[in-house]
Amino acid sequence: MWTGTQFLAVERVEGAVIASTDGRTWQEQPRIDDGVLGQLAVGPRGVLGIGSRNAEGVVAIWKSADGVSWTSATDDISLHGRDGTFLTMTGIAGRGGGWLAVGGESLSCTPGACRLVRAVSWTSPDGLTWSRGEDSAAMQRAHMNDVVRTVSGYIAIGSAAADPARADSAIRPAVWMSTDGRSWKRSEALPVVEADADADIELDSVAVIGGRVVAVGHASTQTSASAAGFAWWTDGDTWSSAEIGPFYPSQDIRVAAAMGGFLAMFGTGPDPSCPRSIWRSADGASWSCTGNDPVFADSTVFDAAASPLAEVLVGSGPDGAVVWTSHP
């Protein structure tokens, strides 16, 4: 993540924050000791970190002005799952002078659709006190995975049960739109993803550059070791789709705003022409493999960010955390 003055990243094994002003030299920051940090976001009032307080589904949130000193948010009831559910917060965006977050509640049961209880959104004026959004029909049997701010409001992406009345319902992609981050409306006219009839399909991550919003997702079945990656993009209300390529599900799927466009990171792939499933696109419509670069051999890329002068990718290799830096 680029804050405007420095890059910040989370080391996946220990959850430590590392920082760099140029993408080349990195320093580990003091550790957060009252939870497990998983994700960072930058907003008008500094940096926000989200993660978990414990293994029981209690969301943890930390705020920082500089990425060094952190203040923990109040452990409010809004950050606990309801009715025995496991609560996760998975996406953050700036909202005016405050924050918007999305996630969902789930239950540990099978088949996959049974796990989806409801999508959840939160708003905060300061990153420390949080309120849950409306628990409307649009949020039921669904999960929001990520969110971005657009010129007209907010777009959240994720998944929902194709038939909410059936416990064995297939999972399908879901898109929500909101003008204020509190009330959400599900989008109905979405592209059709070509996949097996028994496949679960969901959107995992979303990014925005200017007016172009790009989301990436995957289709998978319980009988196949590989999944199919795809992208959706929009400049307004209508979404279009593009196939990306196969990959082995082994990490969180991400798309990030990068230099010259978007960078999607899926993990490793079965295609020898793209052994690391890392893809680049100028517009979200046409994608080319960048994971065939030998610099990524024996490594996995988790996330990316760009400053005006550099593009940074973070991941792991045989010897631990790895950072790749490009200065065009």
Query: Quick one: fold of 75-326?
Result: Neuraminidase (2.120.10)
pLDDT for residue 255: 98
pLDDT tens column, 270-319: 999 999 999 999 999 999 999 999 999 999 999 999 999 999 999 999 98
One-letter identity of residue 52: S
Domain borders along the chain are 75-326
Q: Of 234, 163, 241, whose CA–CA distance to 195 is shortest?
A: 241
pLDDT tens column, 223-237: 999 999 999 999 987
- Looking up tokens 């923990």 gives 72
pTM of the model: 0.94
pLDDT tens column, 73-132: 988 899 998 988 889 999 999 988 899 999 999 986 544 444 799 999 999 999 999 999
C-alpha 172/C-alpha 230 separation (Å) is: 13
In this predicted structure, the answer to whether residue 13 has a pLDDT above a threshold of 80 is: no
Contact by Cβ (8 Å): 203, 215: yes
**Is it true that the peptide bond before 111 is cis, omega within 30 degrees of 0?**
yes
One-letter identity of residue 317: G
Backbone angles phi, psi at 139, to 5 degrees: -100, -10
- What's the whole-number mean pLDDT along residues 194-203? 91
